[in-house]
Amino acid sequence: MIANTEPRLSARHGAEVDSPARVPAVDVVEDSTGITLYADLPGVPKEKLDVRVDGETLIIEGEMALEIPRDMEATHVEVSVPRYRRVFALSRDLDTENMVAEFRHGVLKLRIPKAEQARPRRIEVSGE
């Protein structure tokens, strides 16, 4: 339904791909009417979050904007790259036109409904 694509695939999305980026942790849940994706993007203000669909590719990018005193020297660093990037391949049954995004306290919640005709239909399996 929704899969991690190879980096090769994302290389066509511009020069910014070359800069290193953190891979945000995500949860992806599917129910009969659609897919919900949660992504952890701490430090990213709303205006620096970029969620877009290019063909059947979903791209989530964000740039951190932390308040850091000018004369600060880092003494312990676990987060060293100030941007996030993650790319997913979407399947054709998803209706990206009606995707809804919410962003609060650094968590992105994306709801991607399934296209009407893609709602589940039970297929009988015949056996011997």
**Footprint of other proteins on this chain (CB under 8 A)?**
1-2, 4, 25-32, 35-36, 38, 40-45, 65-69, 71-79, 104-107, 109
Asked whether the beta carbons of 108 and 41 are under 8 A apart, the reply is yes
Of the two residues 4 and 19, which places its CB atom closer to other proteins in the complex?
4
Minimum distance of other proteins from residue 6's CB (angstroms) = 10
User: CB of 99 within 8 A of CB of 90?
Assistant: no
Q: 15 or 72, CB closer to other proteins?
A: 72
Q: How far is CA 26 from CA 7, 71, 108, 121, 125, in A?
A: 17, 34, 9, 28, 34
Nearest residue to 27 (alpha-carbon basis) of 36, 16, 17, 18: 36
How many residues are there in the chain?
128
CB of 87 to other proteins, least distance (A): 13
**Residue closer to other proteins, measured from CB, 19 or 91:** 91
CB of 15 to other proteins, least distance (A): 25
